[in-house]
Structure 1
Amino acid sequence: DHSAFSRARNERFREGDVVRRVFEHIVEACIVAGLVGGEGFAVDASLIQADANKQRSIAGQDWRRDRDPARSSRAVKEYLATLDDTAWGAASDVVPKFISLSDPAAQWTGAHKGPAFFAYSDNYLIDVKFGVIVDVEASRSIRQAEVGAARTMIERTEERFGLKPERLAGDTAYGAAPMLNWLVEEKGIAPHIPVFDKSKRDDGTFSRSDFRYDPTRDVYHCPSGKRLGTSGTVHEGKTLLYRASKLDCDACPLKPQCCPKEPSRKIPRDIHEHARDVARSFAGTEGFETSRRQRKKIEMRFAHLKRILRLGRLRLRGPRGAQDEFVLAAIAQNLRRLASFVA
């Protein structure tokens, strides 16, 4: 009877995390079979529609987080328990436009450039040798939560299997400065990831890339050779400002192309800009292009998930329900890969 599986999953085996243990056992079998190289990983996320609809939702500002968990459904209890997790409530302070009453952890999103819907993000970390999924994690469907899930998966894979890749392939969503700094400075992993950069100007004036940075003196040099220095004050906890002298800018013939509406030019520099420079140094190299091609294997896993396994919409609700379905699907995909290559 289907209720036996449901009650066993939610009552008997919930605290034992049996689904995760089965998944890790299959990954270990793939490692023993030589299907995991451990040299290069790829990370990505895909939206999976939640079992929730717009008709049974309320505006985000009307949701009360202080409701009594004892009088709430299981999905609501799980949501309230994840408010401090980096992949869930703590990922962003932005209030969603709508919140589902039946599954409040599901994110209202219009990321597919079509009608908006409630969804979860299925995050995969794969080994690029044969596309084996080495870790899987459910999260909210926003960039900050997906980046937090990626960090969780990398650390857990190193802890459980002793695997730490030399390089990580990903798209621009993982190219923000804090993530790149974590990879370069803390983990020692080469980020084969495009840098998330909005410094390019489209009004005809000089962009930040037109200014040359001198790391030995910690100054910028403008196109006319003048120096821009910083006071060392960190703004908004992440940015240093390098300012030119007003006297230099007033006498500069390039001022109309540099700062026509300001008395002097200033350049913002992220405190983690060194890690961004490291990531930029890989762009265009042979290894970066190899990683870009190999990253398509993770897109193939998601295509297989939706087209063959038919996981386009979740059947279970709440963060744990989504996690169970995603892990079970990853188990099936790894078993198919193991059987195919071993045979």
Structure 2
Amino acid sequence: MMGRREHGQAQLFYAFDLDDAVPQDHLVRGIAAVLDLSWLHVELAPHYSNTGRPSIDPELLIRMLVLGYVFAIRSERQLVCEVQVNLAYRWFCGLGIEDKVPDHSAFSRARNERFRDSNVLRVVFERVVAACIRARLVGGEGFAVDASLIEADANKCRSKPGSEWDKDIDASTARRAVREYFETLDDAAYGKASPVAPKFVAASDPAAQWTGAQKSKAIFAYADNYLIDTKHGIIVDVEASRAIRQAEVGASRTMIARTERRFGLKPDWLAADTAYGSAENLAWLVEEKGIAPHVPVIDKSAREDGTFSRSDFMYDAKRDCYVCPAGAELTTTGRVRDGGTLAYLASVNDCRVCPLKSRCCPKTPQRKVPRSIHEAARDVARHIAETKAYEQTRRQRKKVEMLFAHLKRILRMGRLRLRGPRGVQDEFTLAAIAQNLRRMARLTAQAAAA
């Protein structure tokens, strides 16, 4: 027979356990098991007064922010609504069924004041990485680095040409994003990354870079830089920078050095794409850090007019000279030219009578071959590119690209909400925390089930 639900008098008392309402296989349980915030109150204590009205618990705010990034809730207003009605979210945040959810404005105040002053989001990220290391999810042998453009919260219609941008603005009366822009003018990841003035500057977020690198359309954007361990794709460092190659390469050095300093991790090899294959960067990896560069070398020496390229000349390291296809020597004065190169020149007399001159230097009296002062490091990278290990690391490097795809498609971070370098860094850090927590929860659950 058909059942019917009786609509009688409501119960006067309920026996309700919130823990019973959350499924055992819900993602919040896995994340709660690996996220430890017991240290948070001690860390933030110096940034709160000993008198006055008690503030909203900072652990609650952090848990809600993490929750928003884990489940791709991009609006803090929407986050408050979701926590209000979702029992699993309430359980994760430690809220009872009748507890009040903080107003969305509390996040802005905490983030712009105590969280920024204490750099607590960075501390949360590093503690999550440390937990991944303790769980043996980080191998430490091989790292991969890459950057992805994230559209800034800036409007092209309200921008100005870079040549018309007036930097003589009173910072004390300017908006926060503009003040942060001035603070980063001497930062290698922003102002010092390139002396070239951008084509356009957004008045609402001057640090955002106008770029056409996405090829579909030009946008204002920041670069999200990830340094990952290739064993399980754990993000060991994250850094925001301008959306230009020089800034991204500088960010990679910052992350490598910081990871070694904070966790004692220095990889045996680093995988990256061609953008990181400049002579200076390869020399830094090989000579200063002792890291094998699994990176394609930026080499523009190949000629397309049918004449001999630099690869047709053999370098003799003992005599410090090049030998041309006809057997003549090209020597150098040792003077370093702009761009960090040495010029190796052949004798005019040798070139004049050479039967191969038409295929070597038909328009000049003698042949010149440039050589970088960091050519030894470039040769190391070229040799690695010929090994079988290089083929394997090329595939492992795809893990960082998969993380960026997950960031944009699953976590819905195709466009930033916050402005200014510090706001952008907060967003990138929270997203990296969310991705590490999701992966750590999944891998830990798999290990327990095995």
Q: Which residue of 1 aligns with 2:278?
A: 176
**In structure 1, what is the equivalent of residue 220 of structure 2?**
118
**From 274, 279, 296, the counterpart of 2:376:** 274
1:247 partner amino acid:
N
Kindly provide the amino acid, as one letter, of the partner of residue 113 in structure 2.
Answer: E
Q: Give the alignment partner of residue 18 of structure 1, picking from 94, 105, 120.
A: 120
Q: 2:436 aligns with which of 305, 311, 334?
A: 334
Query: Paired residue for 2:161?
Result: 59
1:225 is aligned to 327
Q: Which whole-Å deviations, capped at 9, do the CAs of 1:200-219 have from their partners, x for residues lacking one? A: 11111111111000111110
Q: Which amino acid counterpart does residue 195 of structure 2 have in structure 1?
A: D
In structure 2, the residue matched to 1:155 is 257
1:302 to 404, 427, 431: 404
1:337 partner SS: helix
Instruction: Classify the secondary structure of the residue corresponding to 1:276.
Output: helix
Verify: 1:45 aligned to 2:131, yes or no. no
Identify the residue that residue 191 of structure 1 maps to in structure 2. Answer: 293
2:203 is equivalent to residue 76 of structure 1: no
**Greater share of residues in strand:** 1
Shift of 1:71: 2.0
**TM-score between both structures, scaled by the size of structure 1:** 0.99
Q: Does 1:252 align with 2:252?
A: no
Displacement of 1:68: 1.9
Q: How far is 1:11 from its partner?
A: 1.4
1:65 shift after superposition: 2.5
Point out the more displaced range, 141-150 or 64-73. 64-73
Query: What secondary structure sits across from 2:335 in the alignment?
Result: strand
SS of 1:71's equivalent in the other structure is coil
CA distance in 1, matches of 2:169, 2:382: 47
Deviations 1:198-249 (A, max 9, x none): 1111111111111000111110000101000000111115111000000000
CA distance in 1, matches of 2:264, 2:178: 36
Deviation at 1:284, TM superposition (A): 2.5
What is aligned with 1:164?
Answer: 266
Aligned to 1:13, what secondary structure does the other structure show? Answer: helix
The offset of 1:85, in angstroms, is 1.0
The one-letter code sitting in structure 2 at the alignment partner of 1:293 is: R
Counterparts of 1:144 and 1:334, CA distance in 2: 27
Match of 1:142 in 2: 244
Q: Distance in 2 between matches of 1:326 and 1:251?
A: 62
Offset of residue 15 of structure 1: 1.8
**1:93 corresponding residue in structure 2:** 195
Per-residue displacement from partner, 1:276-328 (whole Å, max 9, x unpaired)? 01100101211111110000110110010001000000000000111000000
- 2:250 is paired with a residue whose SS is helix
2:385 match:
283
Choose from 310, 320, 323 the match for 2:422.
320
- Off by >6 Å, runs of 4+ in structure 1: none
What TM-score, normalized to structure 2?
0.76
**Cα distance in 1 for residues equivalent to 2:163 and 2:226:** 32
CA distance in 2, matches of 1:159, 1:21: 14
CA displacement at 1:262 relative to structure 2: 0.6
What is the CA–CA distance in structure 2 between the aligned matches of 1:83 and 1:314, rounded to whole Å?
A: 21
Instruction: Determine helix, strand or coil for the equivalent of 1:241.
Output: strand
Mapped to 1, the partners of 2:173 and 2:157 lie a distance apart of 22
Q: Distance in 1 between matches of 2:165 and 2:308?
A: 45
**CA offsets per residue over residues 41-89 of structure 1, 9 Å max, x none?**
0000000000001101000011122322112110011011011111111
Letter in 1 for 2:306: G
Deviation at 1:339, TM superposition (A): 0.3
Q: Give SS of 2:172's match.
A: helix
Residue identity opposite 1:189 in structure 2: I
Partner-residue secondary structure (3-state), 2:182:
helix
In the aligned structure 1, how far is the partner of 2:297 from the partner of 2:221?
26
Code of the aligned partner of 2:232: F
The residue matched to 2:334 in structure 1 has which SS? strand
- Find the counterpart in structure 1 of residue 91 from structure 2: none
Which runs of 5 or more structure 2 residues have no equivalent in the other structure?
Answer: 1-102, 446-450
SS of the residue 1:15 aligns to: helix
Instruction: Give CA-to-partner distance per residue, 1:177-207, whole Å, 9 cap, x none.
Output: 0000000000000000000111111111111
Supply the distance in 2 between the matched residues of 1:126 and 1:237 (Cα, whole angstroms): 31
**1:234 and 2:336 aligned:** yes
- What is the CA–CA distance in structure 2 between the aligned matches of 1:91 and 1:243, rounded to whole Å? 34
What is the CA–CA distance in structure 2 between the aligned matches of 1:49 and 1:172, rounded to whole Å?
23
- Structure 1: how far apart are the matches of 2:247 and 2:273? 15
Distance 2:167 2:390 in 1: 44
